[in-house]
Amino acid sequence: MNKPLACRTIAFALAVAGASLTAPAGLAQTQAQPLPPVQWDNRRLDQLDRNVRRLERAVTQRNSQGQPVLVEPDPEVVTLQGRVASMDQRLEDLEATVQRVNADFERLTFQLDESDRDNAALRTRLTDTEARLERLETAARQAEAAAREAAEAATRSPTGDAVSDLAAARALAATDPIAGRAALDRVVANWPDTPSGKEALWRIGDIVRASGDQAGAVQQYASALAGWPTLPWAGEVTLKLARGLEATDRDSQACAALGEYNRRYAATSTPGLRAIAAETRTQAGCR
């Protein structure tokens, strides 16, 4: 007897033994008792094979005679099958729950990403808004300071107008140089960086030069000519600056001032001013 045949015989015998055929109660109780282990050898295998063949022939004969053999399932097998079916159902339920949780998690992840993008956009807008507010606040402070300064200047100004203040200071300087100097100083303080303020500077220079302070006069003329203005008096005041520099032994600077006069103002100056420029150039030894 070969081994494949023996294995098939054992398998069929075990299958038949696992089914409960219609048997007496005593036999069932006998089968319930544990049996000693069987020592399988060739003789026992041959005997088991013959018994299996007889069972096969008996089953085939009864089936052919219309008396089918009824095989009742083992209750433990039925119970196990029920438990397996229950576990399969629970596993399907768990899988469905996991799928729902995964879907919810993906949806929450997407919503979180959208929230992060929205928060980033909001932060950018907030930063821009804060920068704009700071610029507006700075501009407002500057405007307030300018308005306050203008109000203070108007309060200090005798007439509230730069041209009128300058005219009043000039009139006062013609009769009282000391009071006129003070009035011109107020014009410079109240109306800086205006044509009236610049004119007040060089008129102060004339008063200072008349008092014998050539260096002080040069300083006032230079302040009036800052940026080389194109006002009608600019050419004449440039010559006053050059003469003051020459008088204080600063010939090279005097020549530089005369050079600016030639480039900027000589073409529109009167012959008298051009003659003064030529004389000063000779005195300063300009080349």
The domain that holds 206 is classified in CATH as 1.25.40.10
Task: Give me the pLDDT at residue 215, please.
Answer: 92
Q: What is the mean pLDDT of the chain?
A: 82
Provide the pLDDT for residue 34: 65
Between 31 and 77, whose confidence is greater? 77
Instruction: With a cut of 70, say whether residue 154 has pLDDT above it.
Output: no
Report long-range pairs for 141-147 (Cβ below 8 Å, ≥24 apart).
Answer: none
pLDDT tens column, 19-74: 444 444 444 444 556 667 767 788 878 888 888 888 888 778 777 777 766 656 66
Tell whether 151 and 165 lie within a shared domain: no
Per-residue pLDDT at 46: 82
Task: Measure the CA–CA gap between 164 and 166, rounded to whole angstroms.
Answer: 5
Is residue 256 domain-shared with residue 272, that is, in the same domain?
yes
Q: Which is more confident, 129 or 38?
A: 129
Is there a single domain that holds both residue 147 and residue 171? no
Highest average pLDDT, of 96-110, 119-133, 158-172, 214-228, comes from 214-228
Based on the domain organization, do 132 and 230 belong to the same domain? no
Given a cut of 70, whether residue 226 has pLDDT beyond it is yes
Residues 105 and 124 in one domain: yes
- Letter for the amino acid at 207? I
Flag the least confident range among 45-59, 162-176, 182-196: 45-59
From 98, 126, 156, the end of a domain falls on: 156
Does the structure show a pLDDT above 70 at 10? Answer: no
First to last CA, the chain: 140
- Structurally, how many domains does the chain consist of? 3
232 or 32, higher pLDDT: 232
Domain end residue (candidates: 89, 124, 156): 156
Q: What angle do CA 142, 145, 148 make, to 5 degrees?
A: 150
Domain-ending residue, one of 156, 185, 204: 156
Specify whether the CB–CB gap between 166 and 196 falls below 8 A: yes
**56 and 103 assigned to the same domain:** no
Average pLDDT over residues 189-212: 92
Residues paired with 72 in a beta bridge:
20
The pLDDT of 232-243, averaged and rounded, is 94
Residue 69, domain member (yes or no) = no
* Judgement on whether residues 145 and 179 belong to the same structural domain of the protein: no
pLDDT > 70 fraction of the chain, expressed in percent and rounded: 82
**Whole-number Å distance between alpha carbons of 122 and 120:** 5
3-state secondary structure of 43: helix
Residues 6+ apart with CB under 8 A from 172: 179, 180, 183
pLDDT at 241: 94
102 DSSP assignment: H
pLDDT at 287: 82
11 domain residue, yes or no? yes
Is 119 part of any domain? Answer: yes
pLDDT at residue 39, as a whole number: 73
Whether residues 8 and 27 share a domain: the answer is yes
Indicate whether 235 pLDDT > 90.
yes
Q: Could you tell me if 120 and 10 lie in one domain?
A: no
Between CA 171 and CA 184 the distance in angstroms is 10
The answer to the question of residue 14 being in a domain is: yes
* Residue 96 token pair: 């469905």
With cut-offs at 50, 70 and 90, classify the pLDDT of residue 161.
confident
What Rg, from alpha-carbon coordinates, does the chain have? 61
Residues 209 and 225 in one domain: yes
Residue 249 belongs to some domain of the structure: yes
Domain that holds residue 112: 74-156
Question: Is there a single domain that holds both residue 31 and residue 79?
Answer: no
Q: 233 CB contacts (<8 Å, ≥6 apart)?
A: 199, 202
Query: Is residue 181 one of the residues assigned to a domain?
Result: yes
Could you tell me if residue 273 is inside a domain?
yes
Question: Residue 5: pLDDT above 70?
Answer: no
Does residue 204 fall inside a structural domain? yes
Statement to judge: residues 133 and 195 lie in one domain: no
